[in-house]
Amino acid sequence: MSATPDLTLDELYEEFDDLGDWEDQCDYLIDLGFDLPKLPPAAICDENKVHGCQSNVWLIAEPSPDDHGAIQILANSDAIIVNGLIAVLIAMYSGKTAEQILAIDPHAVFGRLGLERHLSVQRRNGLFGMVERIRDIAKASA
């Protein structure tokens, strides 16, 4: 399972800082979302659906075949901005161990990126629904 885009949080912070305003940052998120690999059709099912999101979101996580203990995350949405938010989550969480995932403060990351300030309440709720799903997967594998 690929965890594209290969983007670190530091690179994401730098890009957001360079872009400056929310409109450009939002366009960048949308572009990141277009680069996400597609889920296999069999993964688009109720078992993988993230509930609480305004849009449809499906998320799967698997152990990384080449990195012991790391979890690879793959997700897609039917909304282009949400796919960009998924790219942020992949930069935050994919390729990390369960312990590393659970140690990340999502409020700090989203605050640093300005997402909590710019996203609607429904989008924030959906974003945190995805975070909770990832954290639940990490807890189960820890």
Beta bridge partners, 77, equal 57
Kindly write down the DSSP assignment for every residue of 108-124, as one continuous string.
HHHHHHTHHHHS-HHHH
- Helix (H) or strand (E) holding 59, with range, is strand 57-63
Write the DSSP symbol of residue 49: B
Reading phi first (left if > 0) and then psi (alpha if -120 to 50, else beta), residue 52 is in left
Terminal-residue alpha carbon distance, the chain: 20
Catalytic residue of the set 3, 39, 53, 115? 53
Write the DSSP symbol of residue 79: S
Burial class (CB in 10 A: 0-12, 13-18, 19+), 29: buried
Active site residue 45: no
Hey, which residues are catalytic here? 53
